[in-house]
Amino acid sequence: MSFDVHKLRPDFPALARSHRKKPVVYLDNACMTLKPRPVTEAILDYYHRFPGCHGRSYHLFGEETTKKVEESRQKIQRFLNAAFPQEIIFVRNSTEGLNLLAHTIDFQAGDVVVSSDIEHNSNLRPWQILEKKKDVIRTIIPTKADTSFNLDLYREKIMPIAKLVTILSTSNLTGVSFPLEQIIKIAHEHRALVCIDAAQSSLSQKLDVQKLDVDFLVASLHKMWGPTGVGILYGKKKLLEELPQFLAGGETIEDITYTSAKVAPLPDKFEAGLQDYAGIIGAGAAIDYINDIGQKNIQAQIQELNAYATSKLVEVDGLKLLGPADPGLRSGIINILIDGISAADVSRLLNESENIMTRFGKHCVHSWFNKNKFPDSIRISFSAYNTFEEIDILVQALKNILKFFRH
């Protein structure tokens, strides 16, 4: 389809809201994207028409649920170009996927886990715990001043005994993307496994897991116009088969006695208990919707929005933009520090004065803020349904707020 943002917006009912007689302006997409009607309709269709169990109930509702869940798995398989549908494991979010790996990969004392210094807390804390629990060694690669990846330093730091490189695809801090193909190639030359945190990139960037030759990848549907509580763990089939179970119980076994069990094959092995079938079916609808719009169209719109907003914001005194100066290198994110004024106050006033929803704080990258001794920042993040008009509202509101504080 040809892309027209004004035709897209009616599919997202939340954008039609007004509050205090003004329209809402949603600019917190790096945290959570809005949901189009086809996604919520697919969820309601499950609850209203066939609310059964997957894979265990051989009746009308159960069979329809199983069919729809496996169709969603196959859609995600094709979306990522995974070799087998069994390589797609449904989890709650990227965080759960990363924790699953941290608990199941056979780490030994002295094994090295490599990551960058701008990883989300979800790709930091599990490895901190392993460091204390199993004496795993963590190697953190400092990014450059603009938070872009330091490939030369990575080459120097990665060690022959590295067990895992676990690295972001696109940063939720500055929107910068890392050179995945080179990172993976170098890691594999050192016989290290690679996990990619694709939470921020999976909506707008084509991620071909076979072309990348990545071992594991995690993503969250709530950042992909999909439902909350549904995430993806991709893993190469052979690797997933070698990993032990993380959660065990219903659906994860084929047979069991009081003393032994026959573990179910992939993907059931890792999908313990009754799952969020409505959400998984909604995830499939989200993939269909993204494919209809086209990832190239989504990415182009996001980059145009960032370029326009950046051109306006750099003219405002007292703002410092984090990350690369070139908006084309920041995906849909603009993160700003405001000289001498609380980010919390500004973000709240944006919301209260013009219904402009942004995010303030340390954005789950506390370690980087603490290292640099930076105060909280305001993150503005776009999706393809945002408009230039909304950016104009944002810029004018920011100017008004800064004028209020400085006079």
Residue 1: the pLDDT is 45
What's the pLDDT tens digit per position in 114-170? 999 999 999 999 999 999 999 999 999 999 999 999 999 999 998 888 999 999 999
Fold designation for 39-292 = Aspartate Aminotransferase; domain 2 (3.40.640)
For the stretch 372-393, what's the b/e string if a residue is b when 16 or more beta carbons lie within 10 angstroms of its beta carbon? Answer: eeeebbbbbbbbbbbbeebbeb
Closest to 80 in 3D by CA, of 18, 12, 161, 169: 169
Residue 2: the pLDDT is 59
Q: Give the integer Cα–Cα distance in Å for 212 and 215.
A: 9
Closest to 390 in 3D by CA, of 366, 175, 398, 405: 398
What's the pLDDT tens digit per position in 315-355? 999 999 999 999 999 999 999 999 999 999 999 999 999 99
- Sorted by where each begins, the domain ranges of the chain are 5-30+294-406, 39-292
**CATH number corresponding to 5-30+294-406:** 3.90.1150.10
Q: Give the integer Cα–Cα distance in Å for 69 and 71.
A: 5
**Residue pLDDT tens, the chain, 407 long:** 458 999 999 999 999 999 999 999 999 999 999 999 999 999 999 999 999 999 888 899 999 999 999 999 999 999 999 999 999 999 999 999 999 999 999 999 999 999 999 999 999 999 999 999 999 999 999 999 999 999 999 999 988 889 999 999 999 999 999 999 999 999 999 999 999 999 999 999 999 999 999 999 999 999 999 999 999 999 999 999 999 999 999 889 999 999 999 999 999 999 999 999 999 999 999 999 999 999 999 999 999 999 999 999 999 999 999 999 999 999 999 999 999 999 999 999 999 999 999 999 999 999 999 999 999 999 999 999 999 999 999 999 999 999 998 87
Residue 258: the pLDDT is 96
Q: Which residue has the tokens 């609808």?
A: 285
Q: Which residue has the tokens 């994110």?
A: 333
Residue 223 and residue 202 in contact, taking contact as beta carbons nearer than 8 Å: yes
Residue 407: the pLDDT is 73
Residue 352: the pLDDT is 97
Residue 160: the pLDDT is 81
Catalytic residue IDs: 364
Q: Give the integer Cα–Cα distance in Å for 301 and 4.
A: 10
